């Protein structure tokens, strides 16, 4: 019997051709910065500069979602805070709308919410256009998209009319709890707690990645272009580079908001609604009738982090 021999080099070529890199879009919410106890411009600049430096270093075509209420200081539009947004644009990073005051669509009237969307584009939209970039994406605060189909449809229609595309999230997580705990410990110079939170955060985020990768495989029968949600805070300013390395070690390259939405997984219908702020993978799974067992193994935020973030 004649055996076909494949040389080691041929194997490498074969593996390289077959192994398409996995793709991920990194989206950052609550711009310019989630500042907790520290609101001076110097601190806000430090966080922004660190995030942008990491995008540059790891070739992350990130998008930031802005709450324009945070551009005001003592009731006045603060040019220093607007400059933070310009730092994103100057370096080629996109900005989108996250409403003016981070309102929950499930808790306010439609007209109040719609008004908050329009109020949320007043500064950012002209600024983005000055940089010859497109302003077109909307991220729902608290990932609340509407508690019924009709409730969601009316928002979707409004967004369509205003030229916005919805920006779903697939890798949802509680980075904001870790971030608050980290921020408080950091400001108290509690080095051992700072290290403990950061170490736990990196493990938790890797577990979340694996959880949602696996869910995508089980739901779609294939991997998908993932969308990660993070927030603009001190924790991510310090550890986004470690996160990026972790994602790279799992075979990821980073892509833009427009690119990630080319995956037709994002066109899957949603027919189940509730008072949920969840991943779109969860929404698609619920819409397909998946129950309890399907969602097993979702990594939880450790109790000590939850306690600290209270």
Provide the minimum distance between the beta carbon of 227 and Zn ion in the complex, in angstroms, as a whole number.
14
96 belongs to the binding site for Zn ion (CB under 5 A): no
The site map against Zn ion for 168-207 (x = CB under 5 A) is: ----------------------------------------
Q: Which stretch binds Zn ion (CB under 5 A): 18-26, 124-132, 133-141, 291-299?
A: 133-141
* Site residues (CB under 5 A) for Zn ion, limited to 44-63: none
**CB of residue 3 to Zn ion, shortest distance in Å:** 59
According to the binding rule CB under 5 A, does residue 64 interact with Zn ion?
no
Residue 98: CB minimum distance to Zn ion, A: 6
Out of 26, 29, 63, 164, name the contact with Zn ion by CB under 5 A. Answer: 29
- Taking CB under 5 A as the binding criterion, the range among 29-37, 53-61, 262-270, 273-281 that sits at the site for Zn ion is 29-37
CB of 138 to Zn ion, least distance (A): 12
The nearest distance, CB 30 to Zn ion, in angstroms, is: 4
Q: Which is nearer to Zn ion, 30 or 172 (CB)?
A: 30
Q: Determine the size of the site formed for Zn ion (CB under 5 A).
A: 3
Encode the chain in three state secondary structure: CCCCCCCHHHHHHHHHHHCCCEEEEEEEEEECCCCCCCCCHHHHHHHHHHHHHHHHHHCCCCEEEECHHHHEECCEECHHHHHHHHHHHHCCCEEEECCCCCCCCCCCCHHHHHHHHHHCCCCHHHHHHHCCCCCCEECCHHHCCCCCHHHHHHHHHHHHHCCCEECCCCECCCHHHHHHHHHHHHHCCCHHHHHHHHHHHHHHHHHHHHHHHHHHHHHHCCCCCEEEEEECCHHHHHHHHHHHHHHHHCCEEEECHHHHCCCHHHHCCCCCCCCCCCCHHHHHHHHCCCCHHHHCCCCCCCHHHHHHHC
Query: CB of 142: closest distance to Zn ion in angstroms?
Result: 7
- 141: contact with Zn ion by CB under 5 A: yes
State yes or no: residue 68 binds Zn ion (CB under 5 A): no
Residues that bind Zn ion (CB under 5 A): 29-30, 141
């Amino acid at each position: 019997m004649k055996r076909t021999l494949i040389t080691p080099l041929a194997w490498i070529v074969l593996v390289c051709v077959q192994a398409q890199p996995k793709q991920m879009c990194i989206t950052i919410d609550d711009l310019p910065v989630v500042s907790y106890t520290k609101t001076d411009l110097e601190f806000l600049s430090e966080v922004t500069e660190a995030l942008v430096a990491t995008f540059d270093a790891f070739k992350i075509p990130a998008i930031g979602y802005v709450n324009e209420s945070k551009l005001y200081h003592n009731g006045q539009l603060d040019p220093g805070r607007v400059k933070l947004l310009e730092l994103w644009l100057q370096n080629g990073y996109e900005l989108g709308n996250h409403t003016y005051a981070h309102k929950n669509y499930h808790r306010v009237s439609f007209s109040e919410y719609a008004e908050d969307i329009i109020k949320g584009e007043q500064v950012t939209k002209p600024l983005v256009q000055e940089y010859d970039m497109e302003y077109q994406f909307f991220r729902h605060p608290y990932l609340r998209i509407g508690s019924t189909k009709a409730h969601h449809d009316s928002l979707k229609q409004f967004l369509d009319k205003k030229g916005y595309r919805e920006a779903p999230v697939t890798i949802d997580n509680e980075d904001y709890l870790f971030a608050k705990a980290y921020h408080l410990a950091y400001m108290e110079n509690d080095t051992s707690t700072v290290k403990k939170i950061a170490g736990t955060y990196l493990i938790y985020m890797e577990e979340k990645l694996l959880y949602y990768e696996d869910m995508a495989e089980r739901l779609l029968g294939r991997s998908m272009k993932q969308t990660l949600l993070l927030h603009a805070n001190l924790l991510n300013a310090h550890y986004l580079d470690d996160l990026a390395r972790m994602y790279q070690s799992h075979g990821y390259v980073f892509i833009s908001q427009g690119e990630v939405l080319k995956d037709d997984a994002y066109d899957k219908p949603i027919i189940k609604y509730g008072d949920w702020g969840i991943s779109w993978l969860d929404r698609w799974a619920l819409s397909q009738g998946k129950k309890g067992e399907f969602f097993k193994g979702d990594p939880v935020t450790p109790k000590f982090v939850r306690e600290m973030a209270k």
